[in-house]
Structure 1
């Protein structure tokens, strides 16, 4: 067997100066290799970081391309295809407010009211000082029937961009009109329900009358008036005129009867017979 070759210094053995210098040189070279290895480790970490930055740049570039493709599709009326492109872009850049805002607009066009509100909410979540995001959210909330929330969203948008006249003249003005209509409708429903209760529980029907007296006729007329009022309320519709004023419109020609003497069948209906 061959003996392994290596540097060994035996006790008491004299070593020439040149050999010692050679050994020290090799030792320094070994230490230098170790330091180079450490430098390589630092470079490796830097390379990982750089690779991640490049990946993020690639995602942003691809997201931008998908966004533009979706915009072209939306302009052509291919709304669902546009939404698909934007969803792919959102997967790459999930904090992009414009993507959510455009998606909300198209969903509103498609009458997907609840998803439109959720998309607009994401837009203002990632960019709370963007007035256009709040405008889109307000319009989506109007389509959902959340008039009070829409008024608040438009007010925030105006606070962020008071110079945008469309927010004042179009969005907020229309939201206020719908708010008035909603309140008028609620009041009309309340009156209708109250009148119906008065018909079912008319105080005149709880008394005993002498059928030969005038009190019977007066009681019947009072009950009939409530019945007429109730029928008119049921035919009444709350509408908005061209100037944005709320009006109660009674449909049908019979709405003009007013307090005329009702037909005999109404007395029977009022008494619940």
Structure 2
């Protein structure tokens, strides 16, 4: 008779071996995934770098085309090329600065100032951008702002004689002329007001209470009343003779002097 005993679980060894195999396979898969991720990130970064390099190269090509067109005074076409380049590299200060120069040549001062301000924002250390901004501000009559822009440009590049001999000297001369014109205007303004007031207001003393004016008014009123009180008719006979007949209305009384009151 067989003795009773606890049976060992079927497949105990198999389950342990299988689990070890699963763990090994999972480790291999994890290493494979990590290796794939490590390869994917550099590849994406490289593609982005290639794309940026392509944009920069295309932008430089458009920039050179626009410069060539501007030299031939084909300003509108040059602006079109530079706008296309700005879509690719919007933070390039040189594109904004050249666009501002061309806009000033077209006498479009407000867009020129805006383009120059964009150039300064993109590169505050560009003395060319500050110089172009000052020239555009002079076109608007903003002399003080232009002087400040020229001073910043001179501070960045103090060895440039064009800024302090031409731009800054010209702006300061315009400022002195503006101040002189304002002084002349202020000195002439009080005299003009005085002359206008003396000519526009005559010095006449109207005395409405004088006896002479009252007597004249009374005589005119009496004459008008006598004319209205009498009726005058003109009768033409058959022989062609004309006869004037004046009839006086009943009840016509001479004017009373007490009806006139002195005006006050």
TM-score category of the 2 structures, normalised to the smaller one: 0.5 to 0.7
2:172 corresponds in structure 1 to 176
Distance 2:59 2:9 in 1: 72
Q: Do structure 1's residue 76 and structure 2's residue 72 form an aligned pair?
A: yes
Q: Which has the higher mean CA deviation after the structures are superposed, 19-28 or 154-163?
A: 19-28
1:11 corresponds in structure 2 to 9
Shift of 1:54: 1.7
Distance 2:152 2:130 in 1: 7
Q: Do structure 1's residue 140 and structure 2's residue 133 form an aligned pair?
A: no
1:156 corresponds in structure 2 to 152
2:250 corresponds in structure 1 to none
Distance 2:204 2:149 in 1: 59
Shift of 1:22: 8.1
Which structure 1 residue ranges, 5 or more long, are not aligned?
1-9, 210-273
Distance 2:174 2:139 in 1: 11
In structure 2, the CA distance between the partners of 1:13 and 1:203, relative to structure 1 (3 Å rule), is: closer
2:49 corresponds in structure 1 to 53
Shift of 1:26: 6.1
Shift of 1:45: 2.7
Deviations along 1:240-261, one digit per CA (max 9) or x if unpaired, are xxxxxxxxxxxxxxxxxxxxxx
Distance 1:164 1:189 in 2: 37
Shift of 1:89: 0.8
Q: Do structure 1's residue 34 and structure 2's residue 54 form an aligned pair?
A: no
Shift of 1:112: 0.5
3-state DSSP of counterpart to 2:131: helix
Give me the TM-score of the superposition, normalised by structure 1: 0.65
In structure 2, the CA distance between the partners of 1:14 and 1:135, relative to structure 1 (3 Å rule), is: closer
2:120 corresponds in structure 1 to 124
1:198 corresponds in structure 2 to 194
State which of 182, 185, 191 in structure 2 corresponds to 1:189.
Answer: 185
3-state DSSP of counterpart to 1:111: coil
Give me the TM-score of the superposition, normalised by structure 2: 0.67
Shift of 1:175: 0.6
2:4 corresponds in structure 1 to none
Distance 2:190 2:75 in 1: 47
Query: When the two structures are aligned, how many residues end up with a matched partner?
Result: 198
Counterparts of 1:81-100 in structure 2, within 5 Å, are 81-100=77-96
